Each structure stands twice: as structure tokens, then as C-alpha cells.
């Protein structure tokens, strides 16, 4: 296939697309704004379709650890896809800023002061996509609730947390499951708290959905909130997770683009559609997009025809995913609920202000040191964080 392709973003969507296109004979280059790979980072993917992964890269044996169906560590899958590409295909530390000649048959990427022409540009640059605006004016919307995700080595920690309660018609839930950690770090508890949170208390979509630095300290209300609504046992777990692991808020963003192709620019993965982690299918759908793109290129005689086929399948699948995400939101942020801050909820339940709350701090002396990988995760990437 005589095509020069740029893929923007080297997470699961971008690497999947690059693998598929490379194996079809295209000349592919992947640009990633972080200056390192993600083999030691990220949390668990609840479910991985092993057959799909095999389709993207080939045989799943011979990897540092076998790709399995459930409780899979993001970094393992990332590494597996990365190893499917020749050296030099992925260029780290390249922040794509702009596309020039976006409506031509050979759009250019602006990278620093340089421009480069391509036959096809694939925007696999996640929820905060730079490429999206060349395809659609639509933007992700906040679903009204946030998942506080915790990752902590399992050794010595009684888990996973478990509990659900309904407050003012809204469901709050904590749950978790074991998953593999980075090599040498042992298994992890991968846990979450689903919590209604007003839009004024959350952050915009991050650059890489799975890779977020943990908070230096969780908010003062966090563990008391868990204690009040989920009991002492769960509070103890989250206290330990905060002290010895990583806790980070993931606001739930939702999106389903009406179009994912404009001329020679294509959206894929979270750039094209975003859904609640509750669907367990965001990364899965990004990988499906890559396979569909490859099949369209093989089935159609022209690039235009292939992109039209890709557009129609991806828009349809994106809307189906969005509907599943909306269904999940009916429990955690129903349309008629009043967005209330967890702190307000806690203080109302306690009947007083949270006076001189005990500081919950994961970064101070006197606490048990996180294992090596968690120290890296908590201190963020070695170059400046783009998150």
C-alpha cells in the first residue's frame, strides 16, 4: 500500500492503527507528545479481547507476559503493541500543534517549526484531541460523575473495596479487582469510587486517558466521605491506597462524533468517541476502529471509498458506545439530579463543617514508601508532564 501515514498519539488506539497500517505496507510514523513509552504506566483494563489484539499484531505468545482476557495491565498491552512496530516508527516527545492544508489530499503536520506532508493523518490523540477540530466542531461533554481510581500493591492490603449506596436518588459505589502490575511490582488492587461531582470541581479531558499522575494528597473530605457512606473497612482500604499507592480522579467524559473523517484526516479511539469506564470498552473500541480502518483499506479500491466505509462504521459504533455510557449515567448522575459537591454531602450528613480534618497525605515522610513503579507513577513523567 503506497501511503505515507502520520498517526498522532501512541496510546492503545494509535499503536493499534500503526500496527494494522504497517502490516498493510503503508509507511507509518507515530508522534507522541510524552517523551517516553507507557510500558510501566496506566491501570487495569477490565476486559481485553484477545482475538482482536491478535488480529492487530499477530500471535500473542512470546510476550513478556501473556495477554489475558481480564484484569489486564495497560502497560503490558501497550508494550505488546509497541513491539509490533519497527524501531523508530514511534517518535516520542513530539507535540503536534496544527494541521495545514487540512482540506487537501496531502495535509501537512506542523511540528515545532517543521511541516511534513502525508497522504493520511490519523488523530488517535485522545479526549483532548488536537486533530478533532479539523474533522468536527463537536466536543466531549461531562457525564456528571467522576471515577476516583486507586492503584496499590495488593501485598498486605485487605481488599478490594466494595459497597454501594443511594443518596438523594443518586448511586455512589466503590469496587475493585486484582490486576497484574508492572513486572517486578507484584499484583495490584485496581479500584474505583463512582461519585457525583459538579462540573466546577473537575478537570478537562487529559492527554492520555489511562496515564495520570496520582494526587500528592487526596482532598481532606475523601476518606471521611468513604467512612461515612461506605463504612470503616472501605475507609481503611482507601486510606492505605492513598498512603501506599496512587489515587486520581477521572471525570467521565462522553462523546460520539457525527463524522470521523474529513478529506484525509481521520479520528480514532477517544478522539472519535468517549465513554464511561463502566462500559469497559473505550480501549476495545479504539482497537476495533483500527481493525475496521485496515479492512476498509483492503476492501475498497480507492482511499476515499475506504475512508467513507470507515466513517460509517465508526460513527455507528461510537453512537452505540455512547448509548451504553448514557445508560450507566442514569445511576450515577441521573438527568434530574442536582450536582452536589461530595464535601457538602458529607458535611450535611455529619451535621457540621469538616473542622480541622486530619490530612490525608501520600507523599510525606513517615509513610510506607511506595514500591519503585508507584514512585515513578506518582512523580509523573521524567520530562514535563503534558497531562
Residue numbers of the site for ligand FAD (CB under 6 A)?
8-14, 31-34, 45-47, 95-96, 124-127, 130, 147, 149, 207-210, 250, 269-270, 277, 280-284, 286, 386
The Cα-based distances of 46 to 182, 277, 278, 305 in angstroms read 16, 9, 9, 35
- Closer CB to ligand FAD, 29 or 307, in the complex: 29
Give the contacts of 136 (CB within 8 A, at least 6 positions apart). 257, 258, 259, 260, 262, 267
Minimal distance, residue 172 CB to ligand FAD, in Å: 16
Nearer to ligand FAD, 330 or 383 (CB): 383
Q: Which of 130, 148, 132, 192 is nearest to 386 (CA)?
A: 130
Neighbours of 41 (CB within 10 A): 22
Nearer to ligand FAD by Cβ, of 71 and 163: the residue is 71
Cβ nearer to ligand FAD, comparing 16 with 244:
16
Compare residues 128 and 264 and give the one whose CB is closer to ligand FAD: 128
Q: How far is the CB of 280 from ligand FAD (least distance, A)?
A: 4
| Closest CB 225 distance from ligand FAD, rounded Å | 19
Under 8 Å between Cβ of 341 and 197: yes
Smallest distance, ligand FAD to C-beta of residue 91, A: 9
Of 49 and 119, nearer to ligand FAD (C-beta) is: 49
CB of 217 to ligand FAD, least distance (A): 20
Q: Which of 271, 169, 250 is nearest to 204 (CA)?
A: 250
CB of 179 to ligand FAD, least distance (A): 10
Tell the smallest beta-carbon distance from residue 2 to ligand FAD (Å): 25
Least CB distance to ligand FAD at residue 383 (A): 12
224 with 353: CB under 8 angstroms?
no
Of 171 and 231, which has the nearer Cβ to ligand FAD?
Answer: 171
Burial 111-150 (b: 16+ CB within 10 A, else e): beeeeeebbbbbbbbbbbbbbbebbbeeebebbbbbbbbb
203 class by beta-carbon count within 10 Å (0-12 exposed, 13-18 middle, 19+ buried): exposed
Query: CB of residue 23 vs ligand FAD: minimum separation in angstroms?
Result: 18
Report the residue number, 95 or 300, with the smaller CB distance to ligand FAD.
Answer: 95
Nearer to ligand FAD, 68 or 168 (CB): 68
Contact 69, 47 (CB under 8 A): yes
CA dihedral 159→161→163→168, nearest 10 degrees, is 170
Amino acid at each position: 500500500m503506497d501511503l505515507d501515514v502520520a498517526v498522532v498519539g501512541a496510546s492503545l488506539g494509535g499503536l493499534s492503527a500503526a500496527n494494522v497500517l504497517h502490516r498493510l505496507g503503508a509507511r507509518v510514523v507515530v508522534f507522541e507528545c510524552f517523551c517516553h513509552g507507557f510500558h510501566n504506566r496506566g491501570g487495569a483494563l477490565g476486559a481485553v479481547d484477545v482475538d482482536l489484539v491478535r488480529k492487530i499484531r499477530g500471535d500473542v505468545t512470546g510476550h513478556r507476559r501473556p495477554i489475558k482476557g481480564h484484569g489486564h495491565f495497560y502497560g503490558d498491552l501497550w508494550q505488546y503493541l509497541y513491539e509490533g512496530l519497527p524501531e523508530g516508527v514511534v517518535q516520542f516527545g513530539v507535540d503536534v500543534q496544527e494541521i495545514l492544508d487540512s482540506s487537501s489530499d496531502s495535509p501537512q503536520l506542523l511540528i515545532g517549526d517543521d511541516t511534513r506532508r502525508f497522504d493520511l493523518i490519523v488523530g488517535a490523540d485522545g479526549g483532548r484531541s488536537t486533530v478533532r477540530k479539523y474533522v468536527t466542531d463537536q466536543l466531549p461533554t461531562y457525564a456528571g460523575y467522576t471515577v476516583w481510581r486507586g492503584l496499590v500493591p495488593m501485598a498486605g492490603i485487605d481488599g478490594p473495596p466494595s459497597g454501594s449506596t443511594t443518596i438523594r436518588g443518586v448511586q455512589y459505589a466503590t469496587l475493585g479487582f486484582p490486576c497484574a502490575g508492572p513486572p517486578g511490582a507484584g499484583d495490584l488492587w485496581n479500584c474505583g469510587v463512582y461519585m457525583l461531582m459538579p462540573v466546577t470541581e473537575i478537570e478537562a479531558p487529559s492527554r492520555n486517558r489511562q496515564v495520570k499522575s496520582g494526587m500528592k494528597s487526596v482532598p481532606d473530605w475523601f476518606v471521611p466521605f468513604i467512612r461515612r457512606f461506605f463504612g470503616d473497612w472501605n475507609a481503611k482500604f482507601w486510606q492505605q491506597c492513598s498512603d501506599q499507592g496512587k489515587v486520581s480522579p477521572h471525570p467521565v467524559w462522553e462523546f460520539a462524533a457525527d463524522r470521523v473523517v474529513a478529506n484525509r484526516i481521520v479520528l480514532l479511539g477517544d478522539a472519535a468517541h468517549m465513554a464511561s469506564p463502566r462500559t469497559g470498552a473505550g480501549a476495545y473500541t479504539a482497537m476495533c476502529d483500527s481493525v475496521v480502518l485496515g479492512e476498509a483499506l483492503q476492501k475498497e479500491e480507492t482511499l476515499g471509498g475506504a475512508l467513507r466505509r470507515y466513517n460509517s462504521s465508526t460513527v455507528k459504533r461510537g453512537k452505540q458506545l455512547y448509548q451504553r455510557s448514557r445508560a450507566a449515567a442514569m445511576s450515577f448522575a441521573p438527568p434530574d439530579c442536582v450536582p452536589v459537591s461530595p464535601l457538602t454531602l458529607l458535611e450535611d450528613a455529619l451535621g457540621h463543617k469538616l473542622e480541622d480534618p486530619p490530612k490525608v497525605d501520600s507523599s510525606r515522610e513517615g509513610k510506607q514508601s511506595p514500591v519503585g513503579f508507584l514512585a515513578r507513577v506518582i512523580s509523573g513523567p521524567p520530562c514535563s508532564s503534558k497531562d
